[in-house]
Amino acid sequence: MRVTLKSLFDFFWGPADARAYALVRIGLAIGGLMNLIDLWPHRLELYASTGMISLDAVHAAMHGVHYVSVFDWVGSESGTTAVFVAAGLALAALALGVFPRAAAALVVVWHLSSSHRAPPILHGWDHILRAYSLLVLVSPMPRVWTLRGSAPLASVPAYGLRLMQWQLAVLYMTTVWQKLPDPYWRNGQMLAYFSVSLFSRDPNGLFLVHHEWVSAVATYLSLAIEASIPWLLWFGRTRMLGLLAGFGLHFLIAVTARITVFSTCVLIPYAAFLEGPDIDWLASIVRSRSLGQFVDALLAGRPVAGSALERS
């Protein structure tokens, strides 16, 4: 029993690389800024009291349950713009590590307020941003990669990363579970239909419609990748394969569909799985000036020649 409790304690409170928290923090800020920029042109129509979504209708749709939303008190056009500007500044501060705990708290309030004021336009990435904003807020805030300067690199408790890892696993597994009963996912025609939808970057392209076998292979492959990503990321030996599979899948989604914000936001939690050697290895690839070295290192899963990791 003592061994079990100690293992559980070490799992949550054991040491983790502080840079993993910093990567999630920066990724969350970038995804949040992309979402805010996407909403900016429509802010008055969606969030101001003079817009097309009535605040009373929003409250009625909540069936008496009251949620935190700054827009319950700020409804003017100038006030709405000010809220957006303040949210942008908070996200920038979070990315740069300037008063990160306070910035993270403001980012949580922003995502809650945005979600609860305009529920008709919520997307999957809004839920990701909201969940990970809260997880970043309650996680350690090491002084790594910040404008305030960096403290000596030291281990920090892993509990926040564990919660982020579980959240990503739940996200992918529930996504796959909800897709499986859908007849278009089951018969392999989903991507063919999606390619001619309003979300497609080329809705007039009929390649997948005329080549249904390609649509079927791509549909089933995307399901398999989504189901396997959390497990691949969890184990060190398969982590780089999980990164390649996830980044490849969401890169293809970003270039073929008008949901680039989603592809960016869903990749944020990947950083929570990275350990010290993984971050050193990725940093060595980024520092490489040779495309050949980059490809060789990526395929071989080893540091680039001359990197700090290899020398160690």
How many C-beta atoms surround the C-beta of residue 282 within 10 A? 19
Give CA–CA dist 75/21, Å, rounded. Answer: 35
Tokens 């992918």 belong to: 172
Yes or no: say if 142 and 34 are a contact pair by the CB < 8 Å rule: no
Which pLDDT tens digit goes with each residue over 14-52?
889 999 999 999 999 999 999 999 999 999 999 999 999
Tens-digit pLDDT profile for residues 145-198: 887 766 666 778 999 999 999 999 999 999 999 999 999 999 999 999 999 988
Domain spans, the chain: 16-157, 161-274
Per-state percent for the chain, helix, strand, coil, to nearest 5: 70, 5, 25
Sequence-ordered list of residues with C-beta below 8 angstroms from that of 260, at least 6 positions apart, any chain: 34, 254
What predicted TM-score, i.e. pTM, was given to this entire model? 0.85
